[in-house]
Amino acid sequence: MIDITKWKKFQISSLFQIKRPAPRSVKKYNDGSIPFVSSGNYNNGVDSYRMPLDNELLEKGNCITVSPVDGSTFYQPTDFLGRGGAGSSILLLYNDKLTKYTGLFLAAIIRGTLTRKYQYNDMGSSESIKLEYIKLPVNIKNEIDWEYMERYVKQLYARERKFRPCYDLFRKNKIT
């Protein structure tokens, strides 16, 4: 269990540069190899894999995507096609200090905050989400503790790798 009693609140808009993707509809794209990320609560928000249009710029990876529909939040490691326009368009959150590990940590924190507040019948907006606060670990200078977040997620990965051979053995032998 994580002790969050000494964590501090930070407004999302103070932590991230927030953007919207270009207006896009998945129906205008052919199948391909680039993730098409939209509002969705599973599969990292990836709706399908598509081919970009000629000369189309992709959204830059190493960001966090947020669905105002239900607060679904994911870390996107690679460049992608983002669902923009009205309705179920996503928000893109960028911070120069994001890594794979801090991105996963922050996505989990943001998701935990937003999914309690936003649902399909009571959706958020880019403005309401910018104003939300999340609690984050701080260092002795009362600044966001990026090293803690990185270390914490790396420890989770290490623990998973430690137990993975046992899981694979159980699956292979169909032990339940």
Q: Give residue-wise pLDDT tens across range 17-44.
A: 999 999 998 999 999 999 999 998 899 9
Q: How far apart are CA 73 and CA 108, in angstroms?
A: 7
pLDDT computed for residue 170 by the predictor: 56
Label residue 176 by pLDDT band (50, 70, 90).
Answer: very low
In the chain, domain spans:
8-173
pLDDT at 158: 87
The C-alpha angle 23, 62, 116, rounded to 5 degrees, equals 75
- Which fold would CATH assign to domain 8-173? Adenine-n6-DNA-methyltransferase TaqI; Chain A, domain 2 (3.90.220)
Handedness of CA 109, 113, 114, 115 (dihedral sign): positive
Q: What is the pLDDT of residue 100?
A: 97
DSSP label at 146? H
How do residues 92-119 score in pLDDT, each as one tens digit? 999 999 999 999 999 999 999 998 887 6
- Residue 8 pLDDT > 80: yes
pLDDT at 116: 85
